[in-house]
Amino acid sequence: MSIDFIRRAARIALTDVCDMLLDRRCSGCGGSAPRDGEICSACDALVDRTGVALCLRCLHGDAVTPEVARGCPSHGSARLLLAGPRFEPPLDRLIHAFKYEGVSALAPWVASLLPEPPDLRGSVGREYVLVPVALHPARRAWRGYDQALLLAHEASVRWGVPVVEALVRVRDHPPQARLDPERRRTNVKGAFRVAARTLIEGRPCLLLDDVATTGSTLLEAAEALEQAGASWVLALSAAHGGQAP
Ligand SMILES: [Zn+2]
Ligand SMILES: [Zn+2]
């Protein structure tokens, strides 16, 4: 028996013991999690990877096409959202774990649901900046991380677009999850300011959040960026619609 073989066997046995002691579970179904991930293959297979292009004001839209600027019948094409799958089981449980149960290790998987903006591959893509929707500092301190910022770092590596933390949440407010759409809109009014105009002035911004339920938070953040001189804002979310559990 070679030393290498013994080492490998010892490493596998140690990982098994660690998994057993830590009782690693899939956040989607509670079944065993694979050694190299936080989500089991059955849950992963249940999540549809088709992105959608939606109007940010009313979340009307359909499958992503090269002509995302086609626009919404009610609101034109000024503000668009490229979103990952619908917020429904098992994705709702997974995102809940990512956001509220401290499972920050789900970030790469959740970020893999973000649809890639269509013209990033061209030279124009280099001018983009990725702007995460900011948590209020108090909420970020309490949670220990900012989930949109984690997603932005993952997307940044994948797309080669820099992350710019341009937004500051100036007002903490009750969590949006339990509010009706009308209350959500008033709830986020004036919630953001831009840290410094020079961060985004004249640049197209990819504004990023984990879930767009009604789009109201992203819309408010998009307006703050545009008022501070962003040339264009495209909102991105890993999931859309539904109600938080
Ligand atoms: Zn599972
Ligand atoms: Zn619309």
H-helix or E-strand spanning residue 131: strand 129-132
Written as tens digits, the pLDDT of the chain (245 aa) is 677 777 777 776 666 655 555 678 999 999 998 888 889 999 999 999 888 888 888 887 665 454 555 567 677 767 889 999 999 999 999 999 999 999 999 999 999 999 998 877 655 555 899 999 999 999 999 999 999 999 999 999 999 999 999 999 998 876 666 677 777 778 888 999 999 999 999 999 999 999 998 899 999 999 999 999 999 899 999 999 886 43
Ligand 1 mean position to 108 CA, how many Å? 16
Q: How far is the CA of 71 from the centre of ligand 2 (A)?
A: 8
Taking the CB of residue 93, how many other CB atoms lie within 10 A of it? 18
CA distance to 128, 133, 160, per residue, from 123 (Å): 10, 25, 11
Which residue shows structure tokens 């001018």?
127
pLDDT of residue 152: 98
Is residue 118 within 8 A of residue 70, CB to CB? The reply is no
Q: What distance in angstroms lies between residue 32's CA and the mean position of ligand 1's atoms?
A: 7
Output the CA 40–ligand 1 centroid distance in Å. Answer: 4
Count of CA atoms in the C-beta half-sphere (13 A) of 8: 5
- Domain-wise residue ranges, the chain: 1-46, 48-240
Domain 48-240 has CATH 1.10.20: no
Ligand nearest the Cα atom of residue 30: 1
Q: What per-residue confidence (pLDDT) applies to 244?
A: 46
Whole-structure pTM value: 0.84
Q: Containing H/E element for 8?
A: helix 3-22
In contact, 74 and 57? CB cutoff 8 Å: yes
Question: Are residues 222 and 73 in contact, defined by beta-carbon separation less than 8 angstroms?
Answer: no
Nearest to 90 by CA among 67, 114, 109: 109
Which residues fall within 8 angstroms of residue 143, CB to CB, at 6 or more apart?
Answer: 102, 135
State the pLDDT at residue 62.
60
Report the DSSP pairing between strands 52-55 and 80-83: antiparallel
Q: Which residues pair with 233 in a beta bridge?
A: 205
Q: What pLDDT is recorded for position 144? A: 94
